[in-house]
A and B are shown apart, each in its own frame.
Chain A
Amino acid sequence: MSFVTIRVIIDVASALETQSLENCLFMFDNRRLAGSTGEKTNQLCTVVSPGEQIMWTVMPFECEAYVALKNICFEGNDLFEAKERSFENTNVHYWELTTPKPPPKDAANGPAYIYSMEFDVGDRNGNVELKVEGPSLKFLTLG
């Protein structure tokens, strides 16, 4: 059993300048060969399997810049619940989620479960909170 990693990379300076994550947020996962689409964009669609662990990590372009993922939300959908964790004895956080097993009844038809991500950008005080919507999860279609 392996797990899915989703890496989110943010150009913090540009995000602060434009007060937007448009063209400033880039997502990658390790499921491209399985069918994920939208690599290097903010509309990544990640292919997942039932009962699989997914892990989101965030990094800024420059090590001196600050950005933190504050929330992952699947609108109108309580099937998925992402939780925030931290690497032991550090203040580096990540988010993890386990996909439901068995999968939702309509998963076989291939709907994408869209989620949004909220970030604190620039500092920890929440002065700049930015949000991106549109990345999604999609169950691997079998057979």
Chain B
Amino acid sequence: MRLFDDRAANLAGDQESNMQISIIVVVDAAATLEQTFLEENAYILDNTRVFSAFHDEAGEKTTHVCGVCNADGSQAEEAVLNWLVTGVSSVPPTLPRNFPDLQITSPVPPPSETTTLALPMKTSYPRDASIYGHGSPVLHPAGGPILNPMGWVVIDPGKAPTGEDGETSAKDEGGGKTEAPRALQKKSIKLQSAKRFMAVAPSTNGPTGGVGKALTLHTSQDEHISHNDISSYVPPQISSIYGPAVDNGVMFPALYGSPEAKTEGWYWSASVDVSKIGTHLYYMDVVLLEAQSNSCGDGEWVPRTFTLTGKLAVSRVIKRNGFATPAGYGSLPLRPTQ
């Protein structure tokens, strides 16, 4: 079995510390909701193809992590994984977070506040026994329930028109508070064009939250859009990363946030112990919001959690000097030259 590819080995060995690996998870939400199955409706991309030669058992959803060790075999650096999840039909993540049609706020208020949505300045991932909540409500150490620390997409239904323009925006008064959406009415919003991505506010009623009121959408030709298509416009989110790779200390995932509170740039990131050579499984819980109609005829957003399997293939090479120096290239540390 050929263990090393020259180019890959050179590249890995010449890497600076903390190789940042981007893992993109692309979810076809409409197909997932229709088939109630995620594994074949999600795609995993990453920037580690060049290291794929290290493992013969590479699969489509395998991320190749090539670590770096010192000449004596001790670990030199760790690798870092960064996940970005996006939907095939959701708003592009390249849009600024304060785009008027897309305002992110906290999904679930503390139980005592049923009329306002609180925007927590800090939402830490609960590091307790319920860390593998698998999308179910997880008690925050502070005591309030948090269904999902990432936040849902919100519009201000007060601006939901009966006219042509379907554009809405959520109000943000700053200071960590967002005005609660006014009572959602059973209005129809005409879908103007592909430019408009529609989203709805989560309900402020109920202890678990996360269930919102949807508006019935009609096109300008008064045709219905399927509920799954509506659902596919809302960006999917990863609520949990767990599994053998975490249990065995291969990687240490956590949610990290953008320093800008308003944008809430949450993303999953993990450092990898590259001494754990081999192939390791991990699981991601992906949460989709499904638009449904309840028995009263009202629209509702129901969070649906699906599990996606990923793999890490960890290998490592000896750290080398990649800079042109009088001492030349070679394993580190270099001998001092005269």
Contact = CB atoms under 8 A, between A and B. Distances in A.
A59 B94 CA distance: 7
A92 B194 contact: no
B194 A3 contact: yes
**Candidate in B43, B94, B96 with the most chain A CB atoms within 10 angstroms:** B94
A80 interface: no
A40 interface: yes
A63 B94 contact: yes
Interface in A13-33: 13-14, 23, 26, 28-30, 32-33
Contacts of B89: 5, 30
B26 interface: yes
A92 B22 contact: no
A94 B28 contact: no
A29 B43 CA distance: 12
Chain B facing A: main interface SS: loop
Interface residues of B, number: 36
Interface in A53-102: 53, 55, 57-63, 85, 87-90, 92, 94, 96
Contact of B43 (A5, A40, A63, A92): A40
A53 B49 contact: no
Nearest to B229: A2
Contact of A1 (B35, B84, B221): B221
Contacts of B28: 28, 30, 32
Interface in B173-187: none
Interface string A32-47: 1100000110000000
Given A2-B225, A3-B194, A88-B100, A26 B45 contact: yes
B219 interface: yes
B131 to A, nearest CB: 27
B58 interface: no
A96 B194 contact: yes
B144 to A, nearest CB: 31
Size range of the chain A interface in the assembly: 35 or more
Interface string B76-94: 0000000010101100111
Interface string B264-290: 000000000000000000000000000
B93 A1 contact: no
A137 interface: no
A8 B95 CA distance: 15
B226 A2 contact: yes
A30 B30 contact: yes
Nearest to B222: A1
Contacts of A131: none
A92 B88 contact: no
Contacts of B30: 30
A55 B194 contact: yes
25 contacts: A1-B219, A2-B229, A5-B88, A9-B24, A23-B49, A26-B26, A26-B45, A28-B26, A30-B28, A30-B30, A30-B229, A32-B28, A39-B43, A57-B92, A58-B92, A59-B92, A59-B94, A61-B45, A87-B95, A87-B99, A90-B96, A92-B92, A92-B94, A92-B95, A92-B96
Interface of B: 22, 24, 26, 28, 30-31, 34-35, 41, 43, 45, 47, 49-50, 84, 86, 88-89, 92-96, 99-100, 167, 193-195, 219, 221, 223, 225-226, 229, 232
